[in-house]
Structure 1
Amino acid sequence: MEIAQSESLIQSPAYTPEPHDRQNPNVWDALYLDTAIPVDPIAKAHMIRDLRSWTRAYLLLPIKLIANTLLALIMTVKRLLPFQFSNYVLMHRSAAWFLKHFVSPEACYLIVRHICLGSNIVNFLIENGPDSTIESSKLYPHTVDDLAENAFLEHDIILYNFVLDYSKAQREHPNWLQQVHQKGLSYESIQPIDLNIDFNQRSWLQVLDLESAIELFKVFYSLCLTSDEFERAVLSLEFDENFGCYISQLVGDYNWNHVIANRNPLAPDSSFGSARRLLLHGIITEYLHRHLELRKLARSQPSHD
């Protein structure tokens, strides 16, 4: 599988490594071609292109300072107000418009893809979990415009409802894991992601990298949600370690969990670091999904024993 991963990276049309100069090796090529932590080749290509963005190099730091200043102001005012307000429609339509006009196609691709990966992972856990009747996720956007249909809010709600339903089912079916292992795992839910992101028709304004875009969007997110809803959205990033444990429990392999950077859900970070943690959350989701894809691939290949 590692050889196949290396070959697919080299052949990926989304990223072309430079000739290897031993006196001046390219850091981005090294990151891209390294297969220690498997990642989908196309997604990894867009990650590297996003990391090389000039906006990340020159604008990210001032954007962080401005965004956190505005976030502090908004959070303080909303906590002091005697009432709370929210506007989901404005938030999602503005986000979709912002992504289409100011954010690079690579970053847009990774954002839309992330929503779909989350649905695949949740559905895999339901399919192989203690109660297969738990409501599955049907959230599979194909374009940036699809995000305008409350995709971000629904993504968080699906996560929380799943955690609560999954925990309840585990309590009600104490022997479920043994039964699943006897039956064998199904990887039917780990399906290819179908996206429609245009990389050819980009305007001169579509330059923002992923982390810069998230920094700016978190400000508007905090404005358009109630204080409790924004806190819930931020705390959803703390469940990466939990989901890693869910998967490891099913597949019987905890050896890869060290790649999960968002840890200690009972000691959450502040909202001011949420953009960085959201970036890590997206990367960890890519790791987790690729881990399941490779297990599915290995299962489909004939044994040579």
Structure 2
Amino acid sequence: MSIKPNRGPSAYIKAIANDNSLPIEQAALDLWQKDLQNPLRWSIRPLLQFIFAILLHLTWLFKRLPLPQFSAHTTLQRLICWFCTHFVSKEANLLILRHYATESNILNFLAANGGADSATPVQLYPKCIADMQHASFVQHDQELFRLFAELGRHQKPAMPLSNAGLNWQHWQPLDMAQFQLQEKRTQKLDFETSHALFMCLFCLLLTREEYRDAINGFNLDQSIAIRIGHLVGDNTLTEMAYNKYPHYLVGPWNLGQRFLMHGFFTEHLYAYLQQRYSTEKTDV
């Protein structure tokens, strides 16, 4: 039996590098491929996820006790930005900035085409880590809930809208050159390890209702896919949503995977809509 040296990506990683069955932009795929090959992801992440999952449930229990509720949004966001600046890898930071833009575009597409004239578009498009001091993760969640409240009850259109009939007035195609990041030698942590380190901090520095709403907001992915699927006449979009059934509230169990799959959902749906946007602009 011969031992082969470990050189480059595995056969599976090479296979998914060429799999575009689900729509995804090449820039996002390249970032994720590099993040997957971060050695810390396969060494310290499993241990940290195990430890912090236990700590998260203890923090969740503490916040559910009948005690006065407290939150510290500004402190939370400053700690996140500081940590991202010094310890989170460039690829993971770019994926975070992309997530703001992909979800904002998806929500703005719904605001423009969902039939509610009073729906206010989302303005969260940070271009660097410092921008997240203002375009905070808390605001990111609250803007989702606000828009859904403004859209109101969904009415399936009698006929799907044609490409020419879709309203793209708030759509902002992603340009990776607009993201401004200065890479430091200490920035080594992959996306999932970074999230594991932040889970407890979010739970502690938000009120119990804010945190419960935030971790259940992922389940609106299915509702978003259904609504957009009705608008464009494609019922397969719900297959992109891992997080489902928003009326069933969940706790912090399996949070890391649910968070990651929410990120994939927004990347897939954004790429799908961006293809339609590009086609519509080309036809014009």
1:143 is aligned with what amino acid?
C
Q: Supply the distance in 1 between the matched residues of 2:233 and 2:160 (Cα, whole angstroms).
A: 11
- Contact between 2:77 and 2:137, CA under 8 Å: does it hold in 1? yes
Give the deviation of 1:193 after TM superposition: 2.3
Correspondence for 1:297 = 278
Q: 2:57 aligns with which of 62, 65, 72?
A: 72
- Contact between 1:63 and 1:216, CA under 8 Å: does it hold in 2? yes
Q: Flag the structure with more relative contact order, 1 or 2, with Cα contacts below 8 A and sequence separation at least 6.
A: 2
1:185 and 2:170 matched? no
Indicate how the Cα distance of structure 1 residues 193 and 297 shifts in structure 2: closer, same or farther if over 3 A, else same: closer
1:1-305 correspondence to structure 2 within 5 Å: 26-168=11-153, 170=154, 177-178=157-158, 181=161, 184-194=165-175, 195-198=178-181, 201-203=183-185, 205-302=186-283
- Contact between 2:192 and 2:256, CA under 8 Å: does it hold in 1? yes
Indicate how the Cα distance of structure 1 residues 231 and 25 shifts in structure 2: closer, same or farther if over 3 A, else same: closer
Gaps of 5+ in 2: 1-6
Using structure 1 for the length normalisation, give the TM-score: 0.83
Indicate how the Cα distance of structure 1 residues 289 and 91 shifts in structure 2: closer, same or farther if over 3 A, else same: same
Indicate how the Cα distance of structure 1 residues 233 and 25 shifts in structure 2: closer, same or farther if over 3 A, else same: closer
Once the two structures are aligned, what percentage of the paired residues are identical? 29
Correspondence for 1:6 = none
Give the deviation of 1:164 after TM superposition: 1.3
1:32 is aligned with what amino acid?
A
Q: Which runs of 4+ in 1 moved over 4 A?
A: none
> Deviation per CA, 1:96-118, whole angstroms, max 9, x where unpaired?
11111111110110111111111
Greater displacement, 286-295 / 262-271: 262-271
Indicate how the Cα distance of structure 1 residues 294 and 147 shifts in structure 2: closer, same or farther if over 3 A, else same: same
> Deviation per CA, 1:109-160, whole angstroms, max 9, x where unpaired?
0111111111111111111121233111111111011112251111111101
Give the deviation of 1:241 after TM superposition: 0.5
Q: Supply the distance in 2 between the matched residues of 1:55 and 1:269 (Cα, whole angstroms).
A: 29
- Contact between 2:124 and 2:135, CA under 8 Å: does it hold in 1? no
- Contact between 1:190 and 1:292, CA under 8 Å: does it hold in 2? no
- Contact between 1:129 and 1:180, CA under 8 Å: does it hold in 2? no
